[in-house]
Amino acid sequence: MLGRGGSAEERCWCFAQVKGPTEVNASEGHSHSLAHEEHTAGRAGPERAKTSWGKMKCFSRYLPYIFRPPSIILSSTCHAEADIISTVEFNSTGELLATGDKGGRVVVFQREQESKNQPQRRGEYNVYSTFQSHEPEFDYLKSLEIEEKINKIRWLPQQNAAYFLLSTNDKTVKLWKISERDKRPEGYNLKDEDGRIRDPATITSLRVPVLRPMDLMVEATPRRVFSNGHTYHINSISVNSDYETYMSTDDLRINLWHLEITNRSFNIVDIKPANMEELTEVITAAEFHPHHCNTFVYSSSKGSIRLCDMRAAALCDNHSKFFEEPEDPSNRSFFSEIISSISDVKFSHSGRYLMTRDYLTVKVWDLNMESKPLETYQVHDYLRSKLCSLYENDCIFDKFECVWNGSDSMIMTGSYNNFFRMFDRNTKRDVTLEASRENSKPRAVLKPRKVCVGGKRRKDEISVDSLDFSKKILHTTWHPSENIIAVAATNNLYIFQDKDGNFSAPNGTLNRRSFLEKGAYQHLQQGDLKVLVPVGLGVISVLGFIANATAVGVLVGNARKSKLSLINALILNLLMADGLLLAFAVPFKATAYSRESWTLGLVVCKTCEWFVHSCMAAKSFTVAIMAKACYRYVSNPTKQVTIRLKTIVVVLLFTWLLACVLPLPHWLFTSLQMEEGGLLCVLEVPPEAREFMSFYVKAYPLVAFCAPLSFALLYFWRAYGRCQRRCSKTQNLRAQIRSRKLTLMLFGLTVAMATMWVPQWVSWVWMRHAADSDGPVPPVLFAVSAQFVMFTISLANPLIVLALSEEFREGYKGLWRRLTLRKHAPKQQPKPGPHAPTAPRSPTPRPEASAHLPPRSTDESLPDKQQQQQQQQQQQQEEGSGNGNKDGLVPPDVEQFWHERESGSMSQENDPVPWEHQDPKEGKQ
């Protein structure tokens, strides 16, 4: 390991990653368990980057996780002020990592425990707990607004199964307890299961409470609130080595608190002058000695450090030691006092050294030498020529932190342009590294960066004028015993680990926020899902397209034999929408799921999601129109009028036009953005359209899903009830059977579609609501499964039609015979004679033209002779089907009976089934 005797040529860095299992109720401070979703990095490669510093030669597999606080951000280039990370801190064992942001939230990460089956997962950090530590307040006496920003977080040593940490904003320090609970008590005597107190008079027996197992829950509860102790803003807190006291520091005073006492504190340093005009410096940072509970140090804005001993006096206005470097008169300038202000001070783990950070340098002091620093490291000395511009944009007042490694052999601090600097105290060598999303690719080598001050710039160098001062790393922390570091760059957290540590780079996982909060559905990196999801979608696409194409062929073939009805046209439209969805949307989604970034271009990115929603909306509207048509047919099957083809085309065109217009926001607001690992296809809503999207999110599901399918289910239910009540009024028993089968088939299609589409709408609404309210996003596996089930509808529809329609089954059988080249044997025509007359024959009874569709209307303008000839030709084609007599003879009276039954010309006196024409109210024909 670096700094622990390892060879300089063998030191190599890779990176840890984080995954998020918990989400928290911010108002109560309690966290709730969620499903674990992972986000990973690949394996660290053996590549080594050649640098001038041999101590750090290989940097592999960086940026496996970019932490984004729990606020929905739809733009990768801009971020909310509340999302900026304001502090980062490891606990004493390094198993936990806490971050605080300007929104008052604290996110705690826990390191993955080592597993025998997966030892490489040891280095992963998971989101352990998230809670709202501070809320914005207002001091009415001073008319001062108190921000919720977390200034500092300090861990207390673990004494039991729970963890404790101190967090502070500008005025208030809070002690938080983070604990796990996997059991709940049951069987109380004095209160019910829901917590209500029972009446003692109603208690007739006593029972022993028991503990029942429950899902693991991580709770964060405030145990102490230390308020009203500071007049000015708190800039640092430090826990004493006795673990009973801590100190809080503001600009002019330092207070000593006991962890069990919240209503009073002891002032140990007060530099406030009697006349504020005489104020020349302020306190910038303070820290206790790691081993001596009576010793502490604090720094000032004039670049001086004071070491105090609480044994000498209760009020430590008089310091024990004073550390200050004499100023070089030749370097004196207008900005000298500003850049000499110390922003951070840290004791080494051994307690022998002291490290301070000012604007341009990091200095290491020996406690035994007060005159000058033992070591001085230039962080970004090339900015001396830019101090004037830095002063104008207030960057000169940035407060950078510094940190020691576990063995005190290396130090680290941040800089601009997302650079952070590492210095080796033994070899006096340094390296500049960049934590940035622009160059973040899986298994890429993190190369050292160099800044060109002047002259000719090399290819791998960056000019001073090209530095981005809005990108800065102010907060850093180092694992207390291993080479694991965490750096915060605005709203991103980067975690890096030495390759020679205890684990290798883990496999890919799912980044829940990257996956859902921006609508980027294609970023799958988990090994199993990355293969299973595309394969499953591919199988659905192929099988569904074949089934829908076959069903469309059967419908078109039937339409060529007779005029196309409205219900047949709507079924055809439904199947064509399924086929288009499976042919032109699902393959692109499967391809996107299999890639680590979006590689299909901007056109596919903007049209894919819009096309999916258009097809699904067209199916929804088609089902609604189909329900109304079915109800009209069931109401009176014998009086169905023929709808012209032009009318059918107009209805279908209007359906598709409405379906394509409704999801237009998906096309307008979808774009490509550069994220970690490459491009993502995201839904980015501009600020001026957020009010519209807020309304659209509520109205779109109602118009595209709830209203059409509710309308369809209502009319199908009425149609089915009409079929059940028409038994005594039926003038044609076969028409009743046809209408009932038709209603059941279409009702089955609607129920299946509504049921399988519900999870996708739940995921869609949940995701958009989370984007508006900063709430938890749906789990990744749920979102993927919802889309998977939605696409399965297109495969299920032709199967439902096949299962419930006799006509489709016959069509499929005929197609199968043609594909397998199995033809019927030639029919043997009987020879004319006394036993085989040549008179027209008709089956007994005559087979129906359709088992479930409306009857085809015949053209009444044809003469009766032509109709009889057509019937005779059809009868000859249907011979041998088993419906006639064995010898093919049909008595003339039976032929006349069926002809009169079909034509409806039978008189009431000769009607053999008078009950079909009987009116139940009148009780007569």
Per-residue model confidence as pLDDT tens digits over 217-264: 899 999 999 999 999 999 999 999 999 999 999 999 999 999 999 999
Residue that wins the pLDDT comparison between 714 and 886: 714
User: Is pLDDT at 506 greater than 70 in this prediction?
Assistant: no
Query: Are 583 and 541 a contacting pair, CB within 8 Å?
Result: yes
User: Is pLDDT at 315 greater than 60 in this prediction?
Assistant: yes
What is the arrangement of strands in the sheet containing 163-168, beginning at the earlier edge strand? Answer: 85-90, 96-101, 105-111, 125-132, 18-25, 30-37, 210-226, 173-186, 163-168, 152-155
d(CA 185, CA 193): 9
d(CA 681, CA 685): 13
Q: Which pTM was predicted?
A: 0.50
Ramachandran angles phi, psi of 562, nearest 5°: -145, 170
| pLDDT of the residue at 781 | 81
d(CA 450, CA 418): 13
The two counts, helices (H) then strands (E), for the chain are 16, 37
Closest by Cα among 553, 690, 658, 680 to 605: 680
d(CA 844, CA 901): 12
Strands 152-155 and 492-498: unpaired
| pLDDT of the residue at 58 | 31
Beta strands per DSSP E along 382-483: 402-404, 410-414, 419-424, 430-434, 450-452, 461-463, 473-478
| DSSP code at position 703 | I
Residue that wins the pLDDT comparison between 599 and 267: 267
Residue that wins the pLDDT comparison between 358 and 70: 358
Q: Maximum distance among all alpha carbons in the chain? A: 139
d(CA 286, CA 154): 13
Strands 58-59 and 85-90: unpaired
| pLDDT of the residue at 768 | 79
Query: Are 605 and 670 a contacting pair, CB within 8 Å?
Result: yes
Cα–chain center distance at 870: 64
User: Is pLDDT at 801 greater than 90 in this prediction?
Assistant: no
Residue that wins the pLDDT comparison between 120 and 371: 371
What mean pLDDT value characterizes the chain? 76
Categorize the per-residue pLDDT at 868 as very low, low, confident or very high, splitting at 50, 70 and 90.
Answer: low
Helices (H), 702-805: 707-725, 733-773, 780-804
Closest by Cα among 719, 528, 733 to 626: 719
C-alpha radius of gyration, the chain, whole number: 39
Residue that wins the pLDDT comparison between 804 and 94: 94
User: Is pLDDT at 74 greater than 60 in this prediction?
Assistant: no
| pLDDT of the residue at 717 | 85
Q: What is the mean pLDDT of residues 162-182?
A: 94
Q: What is the mean pLDDT of residues 653-665?
A: 91
Distances from the Cα of 769 to the Cα of 76, 526, 610, 673, angstroms: 20, 26, 19, 22
Categorize the per-residue pLDDT at 517 as very low, low, confident or very high, splitting at 50, 70 and 90.
Answer: very low
User: Is pLDDT at 874 greater than 60 in this prediction?
Assistant: no
| pLDDT of the residue at 840 | 42
d(CA 168, CA 535): 50
User: Is pLDDT at 118 greater than 70 in this prediction?
Assistant: no
d(CA 43, CA 796): 41
Strand partners, 245: 258
| pLDDT of the residue at 896 | 58
Strands 12-14 and 58-59: parallel
| pLDDT of the residue at 715 | 87
Categorize the per-residue pLDDT at 503 as very low, low, confident or very high, splitting at 50, 70 and 90.
Answer: very low
Distances from the Cα of 197 to the Cα of 194, 200, 777, angstroms: 9, 9, 36
Categorize the per-residue pLDDT at 677 as very low, low, confident or very high, splitting at 50, 70 and 90.
Answer: low
Amino acid at 16: A
How does DSSP assign 861-916, residue by residue? TS-HHHHHHHHHHHHHHTTTSSSS-TT----HHHHHHHHHHHHT---STT-S-GGG
Query: Are 351 and 291 a contacting pair, CB within 8 Å?
Result: yes
| pLDDT of the residue at 490 | 86
Among 10-14, 532-536, 556-560, 830-834, the range with the most confident prediction by mean pLDDT is 532-536
| pLDDT of the residue at 171 | 93
d(CA 252, CA 114): 47
Those residues with Cβ within 8 angstroms of residue 112's Cβ, 6 or more apart along the chain or in another chain: 121, 122, 123, 124, 125, 126
Q: What is the mean pLDDT of residues 61-72?
A: 32
Strand partners, 239: 246
